[in-house]
A and B are shown apart, each in its own frame.
Chain A
Amino acid sequence: MSSKSQTDLTVIRPSNGWAALNLRDLWTYRELILFLTWRDLKVRYKQTLLGASWAVLQPFLTMVVFSIFFGGLAEVPSDGVPYPIFSYTALIPWTLFSKALQDASRSLVASSHMITKVYFPRMILPLASVMAGLVDFMIAFVVLLGMMIYFDIFPTGNIWTLPLFLLLALITAVGVSFWLSALNVLYRDIGYVLPFLTQFWMFITPIAYPSSMVPEQWQALYAVNPMTGVVEGFRWALLGTGQPSGTMAIVSSLVALLLLVSGMFYFKRMERMFADMV
């Protein structure tokens, strides 16, 4: 290995404008993503009383509240499946997304001591935050399977598409996280904007209500929010509700990719200032 890197020439020069993404570098450091994810989880569960149960409690309790108020009192329709499972199916990808935003937006600032001392691709920090949320997602998903057994719902034949919708959620989360974490280094306003942003985003995503409530002519615009595609996809693949609209899937995917690519370039552009500003 040393004989190989002996000839490795690193050229350090000012990058200007929109820097190259340098994804090869990210690949070289891939193990660090896992280590940081593992650290985040380990530390979190060492320091909390209920440990991993938080991953379940958060979406589960929200589901209970939603079921009482929206499903019970307001009688919001749920596409023919029991309301609790209708909302919980939406809440697990949503919790993954909102938690990723919350943790990733702080990730650079929280690791300022590392950024100012050691080189590594900075993208690793928001990425690791998103990945840690993925583990919580898995745990919450097991509970969903339990609920499906309880409500006697058998997954549809479309369940194979579920990883694709999860991927869509991750791409969206990573894209937005790149934007927010880089912005947060420059402007700590992000900390104040975020709770509002997440709340607003939750309302425009069909979590407490089905997207079929949205009038036909607004459906395409509604799908500009990639989380709409994710949530509807989850319900369709698992519960068999809603009609899979090709337009919605395509629009959601395109917007998610746009978020990811623009986020990566913005992050790269800001990256060179992190060590001096954070």
Chain B
Amino acid sequence: MSTTAIRVENLGKQYHIGERLSTYNTLRETLSERLKIARKKDKKDNLLPETIWALRNLNFEVEQGQVLGVIGRNGAGKSTLLKILSRVTEPTEGIAEIRGRVGSLLEVGTGFHPELTGRENIYLNGAILGMRRSEIESKFDEIVSFAEVEKFIDTPVKRYSSGMYLRLAFAVAAHLEPEILVVDEVLAVGDAEFQRKCLGKMSDVAREGRTVMFVSHNMSAILRLTEETLVIDKGRLLLRAPTSEAVDFYLSRGLTEEGQRIWLKDEIPDQSSPFRPIALRLLDQKGNILETVRSVESFYLELEYELSKNIKGLRIGFYMITSRGEFVFTTFDTDDPKQFEEYSSRKSGFYVSRCEIPADLLNAGRYVVGVNASTYRIRTYFHDEQALAFNVDASGAPGTQWPETRLGPVRPSLNWEIKNIENV
């Protein structure tokens, strides 16, 4: 007999952007924010909406024992959905009914304390995840052997290698044995061997008849583990279909935002720090946000970001990619040798790296901008291959007197010379 394990009805979550952009408030900031909002309302050039819906009008059901995948690009609302289902945050509207205990693997190792030993952390972490002491005791040996840390169980975890730490953290969470397991991207970490082990454990869980919701960017893992998948974009459910169909749909659509991209707190991986992307914008000459760019006019691409520490040798790169996935060009903000000298080190603070894309460069069509913040051959702080998408309109561009499609991603204005060599 199959029963419903999760039922979601008209679920929605609204965030106040101000709330999410600044990490914390002081009374003074709150007061001045209020004044600013009051003033903004008078003007109409209010660029940022005050609130956004991270999820809206979501309806679906999950049968008991089903393994359901959830895919969507960064910021689509997947993590928000899992956070609501695991009761970390509350929905703004709608209702979700859950039958049975929910175990969440939103992040492994929550509450691990470096000073405590492996044994102590197993108990602590288990309790945080909602396990009873007796339950942890009965699974203790299993957890330790899964994590392969028998020899170091009484060593403080600060002396563990990152692999050991991760294995132990995953082992505790994986032995929680909830009726419903909610997994978010844990497989993005760890070496290949560890990932295989995690995937194996997850399919075991599924075979035992428990319900799993699995969010991942790893399409092969989604294809391997799930039968059915939800595609979420801009907080809405676009499609629910057998996984192979859903993955095709997701990959073939450029699911990206218009004109600007704002990174929310939970879209930025912890590893990015001290780099924190704030927004990527497409701007015209006057600084207005554009959704559609004219081929005959130049425009700006700017990335706003914050460095919480000084970084040496940081470079911000933009990739221009066609909707078919071909690279048009790659550019870095310190390509110019002078800039390269001047910004060899950036102090902590807020920055904007802005690049002018000249007129008469891109052909009509849809383009995707990728962003990269890295130090050459040392470290990639942040990388988003589909940060923003936009359309180029070619009206007025060279050759538009003929309403035909031009081939190729660029549409330069080139000097042609036409000579009459000989009159007949």
Contact = CB atoms under 8 A, between A and B. Distances in A.
Interface stretch (A3-11, A136-144, A169-177): A3-11
A5 B100 contact: yes
Interface stretch (A77-85, A90-98, A159-167, A186-194): A186-194
A188 B110 contact: no
B110 A39 contact: no
Interface residues of A, number: 40
Given A10-B102, A117-B107, A43 B113 contact: yes
Given A118-B104, A277-B19, A189 B99 contact: no
Contact of A189 (B26, B124, B177): B26
B27 interface: yes
A12 B116 contact: no
A278 B84 CA distance: 16
Interface in A73-119: 111, 113-119
A275 interface: yes
Contacts of B130: 29, 119-120
Q: Which 3 A-B pairs have the closest CB atoms?
A: A119-B87, A272-B90, A12-B96
Given A12-B85, A32-B127, A188-B26, A276 B15 contact: yes
B224 interface: no
Contacts of B15: 276
Contacts of B179: 2, 5-6
Contacts of B113: 39, 43
Given A39-B124, A189-B26, A117 B98 contact: no
Contacts of A6: 99-100, 179
17 contacts: A5-B100, A6-B99, A9-B98, A9-B99, A12-B95, A12-B98, A14-B93, A31-B132, A39-B124, A119-B102, A119-B130, A120-B128, A187-B27, A188-B25, A188-B26, A276-B19, A277-B19
Contacts, number: 122
Nearest to A5: B101
Contact of B123 (A2, A11, A35): A35
Given A5-B179, A6-B99, A14-B94, 17 more contacts: A9-B99, A11-B95, A11-B96, A12-B87, A12-B98, A15-B90, A43-B115, A47-B115, A114-B111, A116-B88, A117-B104, A118-B86, A118-B106, A119-B104, A187-B25, A188-B26, A275-B83
A278 B22 CA distance: 10
Given A29-B130, A43-B116, A120-B128, A12 B30 contact: no
Contacts of B84: 12
Contacts of A118: 86, 88, 104, 106, 110-111, 128-129
A114 B90 CA distance: 16
Interface string B9-27: 0000001000110001111
B89 interface: yes
Interface of B: 15, 19-20, 24-27, 30, 83-102, 104, 106-107, 110-111, 113, 115-116, 120, 123-124, 127-130, 132-133, 177, 179, 266
Contacts of B100: 5-6, 8
B264 to A, nearest CB: 10
- Which of B25, B84, B102 has the most CB atoms of chain A within a 10 A radius of its CB? B25
B88 A42 contact: no
A7 B99 contact: yes
Contacts of A32: 127-128
A13 interface: yes
A214 B96 CA distance: 58
A36 B20 CA distance: 28
A189 B95 contact: no
Nearest to A275: B89
Interface string A31-53: 11001100100110011000000
Given A5-B100, A32-B128, A277-B19, A117 B110 contact: yes
B66 to A, nearest CB: 15
Contacts of A187: 25-27, 30
Contacts of B132: 31
B332 to A, nearest CB: 33
Given A8-B100, A46-B115, A14 B106 contact: no
B83 A12 contact: no
B97 A275 contact: no
A272 B14 CA distance: 13
A25 to B, nearest CB: 10
Nearest to B89: A275
A32 B20 CA distance: 29
A31 B129 CA distance: 12
Contacts of A14: 90-94
A275 B88 contact: yes
A197 to B, nearest CB: 15
Contacts of B90: 12, 14-15, 272
Nearest to B123: A35
Contact of A39 (B19, B85, B97, B116): B116
Given A14-B93, A31-B133, A35-B123, A117 B88 contact: yes
A117 B95 CA distance: 20
B98 A276 contact: no
Contacts of A117: 88, 104, 106-107, 110
Contacts of B111: 111, 113-114, 118
- Which of A12, A39, A278 has the most CB atoms of chain B within a 10 A radius of its CB? A12
B195 to A, nearest CB: 20
Contacts of A39: 113, 116, 120, 124
